[in-house]
């Protein structure tokens, strides 16, 4: 793994030591974590304007995103569920994409 990679993982891989190891490799990550009684403790360090918040997991700063996702399947119809995601991509860098400007980017640490 390296800094040009992003690791996507499901909730069975949401272990603090694993998140720390991935971050130490300089790869970015996006992990779905458990919710409810068995969820990892993710203390609110700072609320962000979009409703997400910064926290710490495995000793690493992460952004916590609570999302409602609807999946449309041909045979079973639509299903909506609540999901919690953590990512090391915590800072927004750039502007919206329009008028030929470069695409926006995310960063795990300043400066962008």
Domain count, the chain: 1
Tokens 């700063």 locate to 61
pLDDT of residue 57: 93
**Whole-angstrom distance, CA of residue 56 vs CA of residue 73:** 35
Report residue 102's pLDDT band, with 50, 70 and 90 as the boundaries.
very low
Query: Is it the case that residue 58 has pLDDT exceeding 70?
Result: yes
E strand segments, the chain: 6-9, 28-33, 46-47, 53-57, 60-73, 77-87, 91-93, 105-107
pLDDT of residue 103: 45
Name the residue range of residue 45's domain.
6-107
Six token digits for residue 64: 């916590």
Give backbone dihedrals phi and psi of 42, rounded to 5 degrees, phi first. Answer: -125, 85
On whether residue 50 sits in a domain, the answer given is yes
pTM for this prediction: 0.76
């Amino acid at each position: 793994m390296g800094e040009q990679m992003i690791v996507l993982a499901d909730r069975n891989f949401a272990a603090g030591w694993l998140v720390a190891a991935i971050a130490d490799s300089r790869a970015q990550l996006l992990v779905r974590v458990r919710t409810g009684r068995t969820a990892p403790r993710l203390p609110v360090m700072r609320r962000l304007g979009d409703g997400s918040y910064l926290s710490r997991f495995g000793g690493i700063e992460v952004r916590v995103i609570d999302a409602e996702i609807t999946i449309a399947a041909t045979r079973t119809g639509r299903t909506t569920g609540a999901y919690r995601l953590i990512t090391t991509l915590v800072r927004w860098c750039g502007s919206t994409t329009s008028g030929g400007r470069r695409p926006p980017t995310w960063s795990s640490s300043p400066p962008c």
